[in-house]
Amino acid sequence: AVAAVAADDAAAASGAADAKLRANLARAKLARLEALEISDGLGLRGLGVAASRAGTLASLTATAAPVGAAATLVPGVGPVLAASLAALVASYALSWELLDPYFDKKGFGYEQQDKIMWSNRFALCAFAAPFTVALAVPLFGPFATAVAQGAAGTALWRVLEPDDVDAGEGE
């Protein structure tokens, strides 16, 4: 009976610590959100960043296009490989475009954006792949844009800004 009471006390203490951690995480997220809302963004500097991003994506496409064309010559699986490569490049570009408002509000320059995108490329391409397909569907595609933008916010919190607040922070 004493062991059961001790276990109940330990569970209650653990529950209280979890509740405190969740409260700290919620405060940290609200603080980050408020900082983004009041940010002016990049302003005119954003045009240069957008031009750099466009150059990077154009060179990625220019590199992938001949590879995709050569892949179509492989009997059987070639067209599938080429389509997969095209979808991968499009997903990478779309994920960068969907996160552009966040990057702008954070004031990230091109180098910072490129570093973030490249270090999270697998997760971000996997996130954007379904939207890449949905946006390619005539008449339906434009309606998927709002869903993609909303989902980008969720991807942002889950991939780029995970909950990493310590239990003792914010006291």
pLDDT for 3 equals 61
The residue count of the chain comes to: 171
pTM as predicted: 0.66
- Residuewise pLDDT in 10s, the chain (171 residues): 656 555 555 656 667 777 777 777 667 767 766 666 666 665 656 677 777 877 878 888 888 888 888 888 888 888 999 888 899 999 999 998 888 888 888 888 889 989 989 998 999 899 999 999 999 899 888 888 888 988 888 888 777 776 654 434 443
Q: Which residues does 41 contact at the CB level (< 8 Å), separation at least 6?
A: 104, 105, 107
End-to-end alpha carbon distance in the chain: 36
The rounded Cα 108 to chain-centroid distance in angstroms is 15
Q: Is 21 in contact with 169 (CB distance < 8 Å)?
A: no
